[in-house]
Structure 1
Amino acid sequence: MKKNKELIVLTHLSQLLDFVTGIGGLIVPLLIWAIKKDEVLDLDEHGKAILNFRITMFIYLLLCVPLILFFGLGFLGFLVIGVFYAIFPILNAIRANNEEKPNYPFSIRFF
């Protein structure tokens, strides 16, 4: 196994593709993780953290849909989740660059 800090940083930042393509922020990190997890040191840990974050945020988005009927609380939820989608990948890319462990708050561990 070799160390490739840049690929791990790129994997975190690739989540921001959602703002451009809509779904690329899930597919690209998933592909990078699936293909390179056994070749790059620490990529498996970071990839799992990314996927857990993405799945958890999708569940939270689904929960916001019915909350729209209750005084528009779902819109507030969408706003908060949008901020999470923008901030946490950048923070974790910085953490990965500093060779720290990933930290995505509010994530449910699936993997």
Structure 2
Amino acid sequence: MHEEQRSFDGTLVAVSYISTLVSLLIIPILIWVIKRDEGGETEQGLRDVMNYGISYSIYLAISSLLMIVLIGFVTTPLIGLALVIFSICGAVKTAGGERWRPPFVLNLL
């Protein structure tokens, strides 16, 4: 039974990546809180999704503030595009059973 808990649930992590397209933080937080006690690779994958959501929330907030000096009008859409691309890449990679960590993610959790 412990081996089942330690195995990587790529489908759950893929759903968590896709949920970042709807809600960058709320849905991944709920999934992580429910499954964090299981440990293993699945918990680490969900932690990667949480770090991804937090990091890109920070990047979007800073980019929005940079709209005051006009550069934010360029960086905000680029960060949004990267968010969509990395969410899809994360979902595809993890659904295949591979643990994936998006680029430019701060290790906060």
TM class, shorter-length: 0.7 to 0.9
The corresponding residue for 1:54 is 53
Distance in structure 2 (CA, Å) of the matches to 1:65 and 1:2 = 40
Report how far residue 107 of structure 1 moved.
1.0
* Whole-angstrom CA distance in 2 between matches of 1:7 and 1:97: 8
| Equivalent of 1:75 in 68, 73, 76 | 73
1:44 and 2:43 correspond: yes
Verify: 1:84 aligned to 2:89, yes or no.
Answer: no
CA contact (8 A) 2:48 2:101 kept: yes
In the TM superposition, residue 76 of structure 1 has moved relative to its aligned partner by 1.0
User: Which secondary structure does the structure 2 equivalent of 1:78 belong to?
Assistant: helix
Alpha-carbon contact 1:9-1:93 (below 8 Å) kept: yes
The unaligned stretches of length 5 or more in structure 1 are: 18-23
| Counterpart code for 2:60 | L
Gaps of 5+ in 2: none
> Aligned-residue CA RMSD in angstroms?
1.8
What TM-score results when the alignment is normalised by the length of structure 2? Answer: 0.82
- Aligned-pair CA distance for 1:82: 0.7
CA distance in 1, matches of 2:35, 2:80: 28
Identity of aligned residues (%): 29
Q: Match for residue 100 of structure 1?
A: 98
Distance 1:25 1:39 in 2: 23
1:11-55: CA deviation from partner (whole Å, max 9, x where unpaired): 1111111xxxxxx33111111111112337522111111111111
C-alpha separation in 1, matches of 2:24 and 2:60: 15
Matched residue, 1:20: none
